[in-house]
Amino acid sequence: MHFRSLPAIAHDAVHLRPLRASDLAVWAAYLNQPAVYEHTSWNHPTVEDLSGYLGNETHGEPDSRLRLAIALQDGDELVGTIGFHSVAPVNKSAELAYDLSPAFWGKGIATAAGNAIVSWAHQDVGLVRVQATILESNLKSRRCIERMGFAQEGLLKSYRHVRGTPRDFFMYARLAGHGSCN
């Protein structure tokens, strides 16, 4: 499993591209907004924290993480990110992660980006399973992932510590050959 190509998104307003150093301040700013921060596992990320995601689309390692920019068609401004924060080649699986600036919520962008990257992962990369873990409190993300055709598999109690507190996460998965729901 290698990331030899990158996915293309079917959305009029945005496209997917590699992250750039110039994106990091924008990314950190919206991740630290209370409406975003409260429903993520991020711990007040800084530009330095996020810089490790630069260039990961070119590593070519089968277990490399992948994070891409969701950018406006006009102006190429970063509005979100999407990718895999873990890849397990032996199991042909990966865990989806995404975020979007609140100014762009409710426009179908996350759903379109998710469908694009998951379809690409199944068809071009050869993944059988793409999963996502979502904080129990994040109702908007749970609805979004369900629109992408993911099935809820269960609630993982105290699955991850979020800023020092054990939190419950829902596990979702989309398997190859099961399509997407828009």
Mean pLDDT, to the nearest integer, of 2-23? 86
Q: What is the pLDDT of residue 4?
A: 65
What is the percent of the chain with per-residue pLDDT over 90, rounded to a whole number?
71
- pLDDT above 70 (res 15): yes
87-145, pLDDT tens digit by residue? 898 999 999 999 999 999 999 999 999 999 999 999 988 999 999 999 999 999 999 99
Phi then psi dihedrals of residue 2, to 5 deg = -135, 155
CATH for the 14-175 domain, from 3.40.640.10, 3.40.630.10, 3.40.50.140, 3.40.630.30: 3.40.630.30
Query: SS in 3 state form for the chain?
Result: CCCCCCCCCCCCCEEEEECCHHHHHHHHHHHCCHHHHCCCCCCCCCHHHHHHHCCHHHCCCCCCCEEEEEEECCCCCEEEEEEEEEEEHHHCEEEEEEEECHHHCCCCHHHHHHHHHHHHHHHHHCCCEEEEEEECCCHHHHHHHHHCCCEEEEEEEEEEEECCEEEEEEEEEEECCCCCCC
Rounded Cα distance between 59 and 129, Å, is: 21
Rounded Cα distance between 28 and 44, Å, is: 8
Residue type, 52: G
Q: Within 10 A of 52 (CB to CB), how many other CB atoms are there?
A: 10
Place of tokens 């079917």: 10
Q: What is the pLDDT of residue 52?
A: 87
Q: What is the pLDDT of residue 103?
A: 96
Q: What is the pLDDT of residue 172?
A: 98
- pLDDT above 70 (res 64): no
What is the percent of the chain with per-residue pLDDT over 70, rounded to a whole number?
91
Q: What is the pLDDT of residue 31?
A: 95
Q: What is the pLDDT of residue 89?
A: 87
pTM higher than the cut 0.85: yes
27-31, 50-54, 63-67, 108-112: which range is least confident on average?
A: 63-67
Q: Could you tell me the residue ranges of all domains in the chain?
A: 14-175
Mean pLDDT, to the nearest integer, of 5-21? 89
- pLDDT above 80 (res 2): no
